[in-house]
Amino acid sequence: MKVGLDVAPLLQTRAGTARWVRGLQRGLAALPDVELTPLSWAGPGRWTAVARDVLWYPMLLPRQAAKAHVDVLHCTIFRAPPRSRVPTILTVHDLAVLRHPEVFPLWTRLYGRTALRPTIRAADRVIAVSEFSKREVVALAGVDPELVDVVPNALEPVFHPDGDAAEGEYVLAVGTLEPRKNLARVVEATAHAGVELRLVGAPGWGESGVAGKHVTWLGRIDDEELAAAYRGARSLVFPSLYEGFGIPALEAMACGTPVVTSAGSAMEEVVGEAAILVDPLDVASIAAGIETADRQRDELVPLGLERAAHYTWERAVDAAVASYRRALA
């Protein structure tokens, strides 16, 4: 099978979406029965991203895929051609832009209001990164659930419990500085709990509320440093308001770090019984979750390690290939 894989998102981000695209690309390239053709256009930058949305995805990408004679075209974010001669699979990481449009930049909000639903519905099949995101695709985009396959995120090899650990007594938060990461409440909760907060994440948009005497913003760091930050932390505090999966929760568990995260979310699906679940809108609940994670550390660490071991790239790639074959059937 010849697979055309959209790798253009790697030009724009190093966050969770990029991890998923890189992991899938690496896994597909290793399969003997898959011939992988990476597809991309232009470079990084805000205006080239807009150009991809209005020119490459709708017009140039389907021509590129046809010219490459691929059997299937896999678009790895929710941008894709509205029409294509090649069977097309589209990935939805989350639909936060439909649930919470007010926290996104203008162009993303405009795309969400106009093109997003028709683009999703035009795909031959849709891949969601969690059962939570699958339900969102069905509810918000009106897609038949039989056409939606789940291909979860998986762990990069660097995230494991053995290795260097950052020094100090602190809790860790990981995420781009944007409103839906709920960082203002994390700052308030950690102040209430009397603990240092270290924050890892690239600058984003909007008011993120990360200021505080007990807060250290580390910015964007490489994966080796991030793994050390996980290992050294008392817990990961990740009460995001909306995620399609919640990769930091998975990475923290794999590093032997207790997780405090949002109840009723995609993260709850990922962590199962291996984390402390809190009300992300209640500062007191988040603060209490931090204290509970400290008390239950000896119980949470082995549960988290066991849970994280299920999320492998082998399983994810197998699920993706099964989706391709369904699109061709």
- Which pLDDT belongs to residue 81? 94
Q: Would you state the pLDDT for residue 209?
A: 62
Q: Which backbone phi and psi does 62 adopt, to 5 degrees?
A: -60, -35
Reduced to 3 DSSP states, what percent helix, strand and coil does the chain have, rounded to the nearest 5?
45, 15, 35
Whole-number pLDDT of residue 233:
98
Cα 284 → chain centroid: 27
Residues 116, 29, 71, CA angle at the centre, nearest 5°? 55
pLDDT tens digits, 39-83: 999 888 778 888 898 899 999 999 999 999 999 999 999 999 999
Sequence spans of domains, the chain:
2-154+312-328, 170-308
Task: Give the C-alpha separation, 231 to 226, whole Å.
Answer: 9
Q: Which residues contact 30 (CB under 8 A, 6 or more apart)?
A: none
Mean pLDDT by 10 residues, the chain (329 residues): 95 80 96 96 82 91 96 95 95 93 81 91 97 97 97 95 96 90 94 96 69 89 96 98 95 98 95 97 98 98 97 96 96
**CATH class, 170-308 region:** alpha beta
Examine domains 2-154+312-328 and 170-308 and report if their fold is the same.
Answer: yes
Residue 128 is given by DSSP the state E
Residues 6+ apart with CB under 8 A from 45: none
Q: From CA 275, how far away is CA 301, in angstroms rounded?
A: 9
Closest CA to 183 of 286, 78, 70: 286
Q: Residue 206 has what pLDDT?
A: 56
Total-model pTM: 0.92
* 183 vs 109: CA distance, rounded Å: 21
Protein fold of 2-154+312-328:
Rossmann fold (3.40.50)
Q: What is the largest CA-CA distance in the chain?
A: 60
**pLDDT (tens digit per residue) in 183-211:** 999 999 999 999 999 999 888 765 556 77
Residue 130 contacts residue 149 (beta carbons within 8 Å): no
